[in-house]
Structure 1
Amino acid sequence: MAIVSCPSCNKSISDKHKQCPHCDNNVAQLDDEQRQQLAREKRIQKQQMFMNHSFFALIIFLGGFFSLYFLHPEPETPTWYACAAAIGIGCIWYLINRVILVMLKKKK
């Protein structure tokens, strides 16, 4: 008896199980092609999730930048700190997501 991961929910199950106890997916009837298709779909969903996160991070970055550019807040005020924080957080979050996306594409 070995522990394998369910192709649908990716949780650990016994290879003797006919059906996943977590997601109720029938794992006994899946062939290799179906398992590969499920893995491909999960990878695409993960890539889309990180792509959405990177777009959201870019919106935060640009919101902070344009607020700083157009509103001209006085230095050392809460508005100025909020704009600077949005720029910093958005930039770092965007870069991290892009690195993760590149790593996911190389795993193919």
Structure 2
Amino acid sequence: MAIAQCPSCNKPISSKHKTCPHCHFDVANMDEESLHREAVRRRVRKQQKIMNYSFLALILFLGGFLYLYWQQPVEGTWEMLATKGAIGVGLVWYLVNRVILVVLKKKK
């Protein structure tokens, strides 16, 4: 008995399992084509998740910027600190997600 990884959820399972106990994927009837299809599906799902995070980061960045533009908070108040924090966190989060997406696309 050896420890293998499930092609669907990538969690460790026993090599004697016929189905994955985590995601109930049928491991016993796997051929090369279904392994490839499952790997592509997992990669696309991960890219979509990172893309969603990227949109959230962009909304955070733009929300902070628009609040700064429309409300014009006074320097030194908690509003200004929160606005600058949202802009900074949103920008860094967005850039990190875009780099991750580029790396995932190059792994093909």
- Indicate the TM-score class for this superposition, using the shorter chain for normalisation: over 0.9
Taking only aligned residues, the RMSD between alpha carbons, in angstroms, comes to 1.1
TM-score, length basis structure 1: 0.93
Moved beyond 3 Å, runs of 4+: none
Match of 2:40 in 1: 40
TM-score, length basis structure 2: 0.93
Match of 1:73 in 2: 73
* Amino acid of the structure 2 residue aligned with 1:29: N
Match of 1:97 in 2: 97
Percent of pairs with identical residues: 57
* Amino acid of the structure 2 residue aligned with 1:105: K
Aligned pairs (5 A) from 1:1-108:
1-108=1-108
- In the TM superposition, residue 4 of structure 1 has moved relative to its aligned partner by 1.5
Number of residue pairs matched by the alignment? 108
Q: Distance in 1 between matches of 2:16 and 2:80?
A: 60
Gaps of 5+ in 1: none
Gaps of 5+ in 2: none
- In the TM superposition, residue 13 of structure 1 has moved relative to its aligned partner by 1.4
Q: Distance in 2 between matches of 1:96 and 1:104?
A: 12
